[in-house]
Structure 1
Amino acid sequence: MLDDPDRGDIAPASIEACWLTPSIQKSHERSQTYGLSTSMRPDYDVLSAADLALKREQSRILCVHAAPVMETLREQITNTQSMIVLTDAEGLILHSIGDDGFLKRAEKVALRPGANWAEARQGTNAIGTAIAECRPTVVHGDQHYLAANRFLTCSSVPIFNPYGELSGVLDVTGDRHSYHQHTMALAKMSVQLIENHFFSTTFRTTLQIAFHERPEFLGTLMEGIAAFTSDGRFLSANRSAQIQLGLTLAGLRAHTLSSLFGLSGSDLIDKARTSQGLLLSLSLRNGQCVSANVAFRQPALANGDGCVAEPGMPSAILRPATKIREGQSRLCHLETGDLQISAVVAKVRKIIGKDIPLLVTGETGTGKELLAQAIHNDSPRHAEPFVAVNCASIPESLIESELFGYEEGAFTGAKRKGAVGRILQANGGTLFLDEIGDMPYPLQVRLLRVLQERIVNPLGSAKSIPVDIAIICATHRDLREMIAQGRFREDLYYRLNGLAVKLPPLRDRTDLAHVIESMLRVESLNRTSGRPLSVSQEVVALFERCRWPGNFRQLGNLMRTAAAMVDEDGEIRVEHLPDDFLEDVQAGVARAASSDLTPPPGARLQEVAALAISAAVAQHGGNVSAAARALGVSRNTIYRKRLSAPDAGSDD
């Protein structure tokens, strides 16, 4: 147990060597390199309420699992002049609870929600040093770098998610005179509870083994839990499992169920089914025998109607079945060489499985739903439903019942037995709200409540149904401008905008050739005869000049039409393209030329087109054929529309 001298005014340099442990000494040295001084005042730069709400939403799953544990811990330390603090992985305080009197004292040194307690901001302290060291840390009294914080005693434990990544810190802080040696033990136990809850919800539809060498420890914090796929691929293990197996999480990733427990997935499942509820006896890789419980929660299976019903789930609650099939979108499929798209994919990969809402912006037709589907397919929720709702396509009078569902007789025309809303259909999976900017303002309040409380109240029902969904939203509108106009709720915007990414329009992408190749492969599969599809150079040049106002939607429709018109040789040529598309491209080229040639005001389109033709012919040295290919028109069109141009030159 640490000594407790009253030395709040003594600088670190004069503290006894035994008082500064090697870990604390290194932290003090880091604090000095950050340019901090022991006499400086604490960092009082606290986030605004809106920014704090956004940070809490980004760490929502951590907060959800930590909240009940923090309440239980508070009951154990009540009336001890203490508080409990939860931070994110960067040291930002998300929540704090405790004795009212001590909370007020703590606020004087910015120990409150919205403040950042990383070492670089506050010097040596348990929260910041636990993050820097990635291990449980006690910083007591004079060990704090800032003199202003030396009335505190703090015990902090890092919280890791099931993938081994730092999610946050749980800290118990009190008056230095109230220090107790058991405080750290309570904090560690609390973090184990949080991590185990985190683990069980993340791998709820997997093969899980709970084990310990002493059977009486099963069902307690001491049990190890390891998760595998049904074919035995290792997914993750909690802290106790890592200790018992003698490997870190990184080391365990090289193993399988067979190499760790000596059984295949199917053998273990069969053994569990024939055990009649009794504990299993398994052998670890080191030969040690353990008692174990095995749980295998299969993903929901589709019924004959293309919907899924989970075991024990009321038959009325059915959800669209969406499983990853060959050819379905994955994030790796979206990377075709464009740097902008690669940057988007890199960003979203970092938040997959972390319950951070995603807002996708971009013009209509840029592939927002395709990105959302790919994220879902690469996420831990991939075996659960992906439900897409276009808020702009549903009549305003129906969107509420579509989203939230309704009970029988909730309104005139309601179906018998009611209907399950789209939010509940997405339970366990991903809800994609396309064109969220078109959601009626009154419904935005209801959606906000669902996102905050994860509870759905169907129309005409007094029931509150819990829902577990990942949220992805998309819009082509400027939501900030809509907020300024009073057409979109600011609080909802911050709930949805955990990470915002923008998809570039097709005309600004550098991978058009790869995109065309991908579409050709898909359309070629639909051909019953003839060669695989290809595109002529003239058409490629034409595509490169198009502005593509409809983006991928326009290109996809065009390719399907051209594929239907193509001959046996499979080559898509200019004559296979719709006339309106050719006219639009020609008009676009003419407009571009008109801006360069600055024709007289009021010039008619025909005159502008003629100017564009003349410019193209001149650009290609008088070669009419080359000019025609560049413009995407026939040579006859050039001959017909070209103004007098004595330098036209050869056709060849």
Structure 2
Amino acid sequence: MTPHEPEPHGGTHADTIAQAHQRSQSYGLRPYETPDFGPVAPVDLRSQIEKSQSLFTHALPVMEMLYDQIVNTHSMVILTDTAGLILHSLGDDDFLEKADKVALRPGAVWSEESKGTNAIGTALTEGLPTLVHGDEHFLRANHFLTCSCSPILDPYGKTVGALDVTGDHRGFHKHTMALVRMSAQMIENHLFENAFQDMVRVHFHARQEFIGTIAEGLASFTPGGRFLSANRSGQFQLGLSVGALRAHTFSSLFGLSMGQLFDALRSAPGGVMPLQLSSGVKVWARVEITRSTVVPSGGLMPEARETAVPRRSRLPNAAQPGGLDELDTGDPQMAAVIGKLRKVVGRDIPVMICGETGTGKELLARAIHAESQRQQGPFVAVNCASIPETLFESELFGYEEGAFTGARKKGGIGKMLLANGGTLFLDEIGDMPLHLQVRLLRALQERSVTPLGSNKVIEVDFVLICATNRNLREEVAAGRFREDLYYRLNGLVVRLPALRDRSDLDVVAAKVLARHGGASPPLRIAEPVMRMFASYHWPGNIRQLANLLNTARLMAEGEDEIDVSHLPDDFLDDW
């Protein structure tokens, strides 16, 4: 929950648990019975993921970001559909083994009917964020768990799934629920923007610096001004539910006709403008319009997207446009890496980026792409560790209609074909299933792909960049990575230094804060904080730094610098 969103309505926590226990008993469950361990078949799981494809696609990067914030806390991040079926999970290896013993894994159903009182099932039943800790679980077998779950709503307010963090009950942290709720809201915002990408979208907030963050209100309208939908923050700021808002127009909510709005956009396209709500409250707003949007006069608004002000990233460590120069911030190790890359950029030589998690491997890959002759082509990133093995082949190579149960009628375009003419970035390449490494090697050798269920060979042309935090030589020796593929990928190998080993921490911190900040004048980082940063071991590297500073700047709202009191508790506990 953000500071700008109200608490959900409902009874006390004790009431919620008591009612869930009553429902569990009515389903015929008994506390001491053995839980149902039967997962759905892999083909059925793939079919369910296909049915929730939009949710799955937009949730994955948020799940990775959320996991980065709880890594090494004996926890896992879980995504489910509306029935409580676990679609995907990320977690610490030691805890995943424990979770597997109670069927807390992809393919298992965690509805109340199946598992009794638990955060996933109860949150989906109640339609509200739910915490279930220790012996609050109905089944005794689950008493070692603590779970925080939030439903995920589509742009029309319908529940489409749930996001959950589950961990060992001895490691319970009071901030986990807030992280889950914020992450669920991020997913909802991504779903919202995707659903209305061809409509007029208004991003608004009473404070200008919150435009582009998860706290912003989102509202969508037809080009004629008819209201379509609003996210949770938008409903809260407008003081109306989606149902009540459907009777409104842009003019009745923001005091301007669509013609006046388009005139204002022509004079300051993409900029942030002041608007006044019907309640009299002044808000700041940025309006997004697609190039094909028809304005009331009957013409087009071609300049709207081309000249729009770049949005601040919603996800920590997301790359902004720019080449290698932007990454050269004074550290000799980074300067050496960039120097090597300059000699091969544009020569279609595969690049392997090595380094610990969070060191900025994707950021570097995007910079290489931006520096190359293919910069106008697509940059397609694939995280090999986050795609379920049952979906990996179809995600990478694509598939024809009817290739498997649940396949879309028109088939699906694979990532390799999407990257045609540009750059394909395979992150965590060491996690690619062994049997698929053969297909990748063949595709790279023949520079072509054959979608699942098809006999058609499609030529592809892209530059390949891979990244890993594993020692691939050791993986080859252990038989987990093909030696022939290893040498195919090993064009130029560069290693990114860990943040704790870099000499430019102050510059990196300032750049990260500027990218996520937006305050004017920019926030400073107090000297005592920088001294703490300099002596910290940074297990999550730049990604951890970005998450920390993003939280700290919100805590420092209204002040001119970030001091120790603004730092998250988990960082202070670990320092």
Q: TM (normalized to structure 2)? A: 0.51
Residue 457 (structure 1) aligned to one of 394, 408, 417: 417
The answer on 1:178 being equivalent to 2:171 is yes
SS in 2 for 1:28: helix
Distance in structure 1 (CA, Å) of the matches to 2:35 and 2:68: 29
Letter in 2 for 1:29: Q
Distance in structure 2 (CA, Å) of the matches to 1:84 and 1:215: 32
SS in 1 for 2:228: strand
Residue 260 of structure 1: how far off its partner (Å) = 1.1
- Offset from partner CA, 1:617-650 (integer Å, 9 cap, x none): xxxxxxxxxxxxxxxxxxxxxxxxxxxxxxxxxx
> 2:333 — aligned with what?
none
Q: Does the 8 Å contact 2:400/2:412 carry over to 1?
A: no
Distance in structure 2 (CA, Å) of the matches to 1:205 and 1:186: 30
> 1:270 — aligned with what?
263
Residue ranges of structure 1 left out of the alignment (5+ in a row): 1-17, 302-307, 315-440, 467-488, 494-652
Residue 442 of structure 1: how far off its partner (Å) = 9.6
5 Å matches for 1:303-318? Answer: none
Residue 164 of structure 1: how far off its partner (Å) = 1.0
Distance in structure 1 (CA, Å) of the matches to 2:402 and 2:29: 45
> 1:45 — aligned with what?
38
Residue 211 of structure 1: how far off its partner (Å) = 0.7
How many correspondences in the alignment?
Answer: 321
Residue 48 (structure 2) aligned to one of 46, 52, 55: 55
Distance in structure 2 (CA, Å) of the matches to 1:442 and 1:296: 33
> 1:192 — aligned with what?
185
Residue 220 (structure 1) aligned to one of 205, 213, 220: 213
Distance in structure 1 (CA, Å) of the matches to 2:247 and 2:281: 20
Residue 175 of structure 1: how far off its partner (Å) = 0.3
Distance in structure 2 (CA, Å) of the matches to 1:158 and 1:226: 20
Letter in 2 for 1:190: S
> 1:107 — aligned with what?
100
The answer on 1:284 being equivalent to 2:277 is yes
Residue 98 (structure 1) aligned to one of 91, 102, 126: 91
Residue 196 of structure 1: how far off its partner (Å) = 0.9
> 1:142 — aligned with what?
135
SS in 2 for 1:457: helix
- Offset from partner CA, 1:339-393 (integer Å, 9 cap, x none): xxxxxxxxxxxxxxxxxxxxxxxxxxxxxxxxxxxxxxxxxxxxxxxxxxxxxxx
Name the CA shift for 1:492/1:101 in 2 (closer, same or farther; >3 Å). Answer: farther
Name the CA shift for 1:158/1:288 in 2 (closer, same or farther; >3 Å). Answer: same
Residue 158 of structure 1: how far off its partner (Å) = 0.5
> 1:255 — aligned with what?
248
Distance in structure 2 (CA, Å) of the matches to 1:211 and 1:313: 17
Q: Does the 8 Å contact 1:207/1:296 carry over to 2?
A: yes
Name the CA shift for 1:442/1:195 in 2 (closer, same or farther; >3 Å). Answer: closer
Residue 286 of structure 1: how far off its partner (Å) = 1.2
Residue 77 (structure 1) aligned to one of 53, 65, 70: 70
The answer on 1:164 being equivalent to 2:157 is yes
Q: Does the 8 Å contact 2:400/2:452 carry over to 1?
A: no
Distance in structure 2 (CA, Å) of the matches to 1:20 and 1:204: 38
> 2:534 — aligned with what?
none
Residue 192 of structure 1: how far off its partner (Å) = 1.3
Letter in 2 for 1:35: G
> 1:234 — aligned with what?
227
The answer on 1:34 being equivalent to 2:27 is yes
Letter in 2 for 1:457: L
The answer on 1:89 being equivalent to 2:49 is no
Name the CA shift for 1:313/1:295 in 2 (closer, same or farther; >3 Å). Answer: closer
> 1:558 — aligned with what?
none
Residue 288 of structure 1: how far off its partner (Å) = 0.5
Distance in structure 2 (CA, Å) of the matches to 1:136 and 1:442: 39
Residue 261 of structure 1: how far off its partner (Å) = 1.1
Q: Does the 8 Å contact 1:154/1:171 carry over to 2?
A: yes
- Offset from partner CA, 1:528-549 (integer Å, 9 cap, x none): xxxxxxxxxxxxxxxxxxxxxx
> 2:198 — aligned with what?
205
SS in 2 for 1:75: helix
- Offset from partner CA, 1:62-112 (integer Å, 9 cap, x none): 010010111111111011000000000111100011001111111111111
Residue 299 of structure 1: how far off its partner (Å) = 3.3
Q: Does the 8 Å contact 1:124/1:145 carry over to 2?
A: yes
Distance in structure 2 (CA, Å) of the matches to 1:452 and 1:21: 47
Distance in structure 1 (CA, Å) of the matches to 2:188 and 2:200: 18
Identity %: 48
Distance in structure 2 (CA, Å) of the matches to 1:99 and 1:458: 32
The answer on 1:152 being equivalent to 2:112 is no
Residue 129 (structure 1) aligned to one of 122, 127, 138: 122
- Offset from partner CA, 1:372-431 (integer Å, 9 cap, x none): xxxxxxxxxxxxxxxxxxxxxxxxxxxxxxxxxxxxxxxxxxxxxxxxxxxxxxxxxxxx
Distance in structure 2 (CA, Å) of the matches to 1:251 and 1:140: 37
Q: Does the 8 Å contact 1:210/1:292 carry over to 2?
A: yes
Residue 44 of structure 1: how far off its partner (Å) = 1.2
5 Å matches for 1:338-417? Answer: none
Distance in structure 1 (CA, Å) of the matches to 2:247 and 2:254: 14
Name the CA shift for 1:287/1:19 in 2 (closer, same or farther; >3 Å). Answer: closer
SS in 2 for 1:21: helix
Name the CA shift for 1:443/1:211 in 2 (closer, same or farther; >3 Å). Answer: closer
Name the CA shift for 1:237/1:454 in 2 (closer, same or farther; >3 Å). Answer: farther
Residue ranges of structure 2 left out of the alignment (5+ in a row): 1-10, 295-299, 307-398, 426-449, 455-575
Distance in structure 2 (CA, Å) of the matches to 1:86 and 1:458: 26
Distance in structure 1 (CA, Å) of the matches to 2:100 and 2:208: 46
Q: Does the 8 Å contact 1:225/1:238 carry over to 2?
A: yes
Distance in structure 1 (CA, Å) of the matches to 2:53 and 2:418: 24
Q: TM (normalized to structure 1)? A: 0.46
SS in 2 for 1:69: helix
The structure showing larger relative contact order (alpha-carbon pairs under 8 Å, at least 6 residues apart) is 2
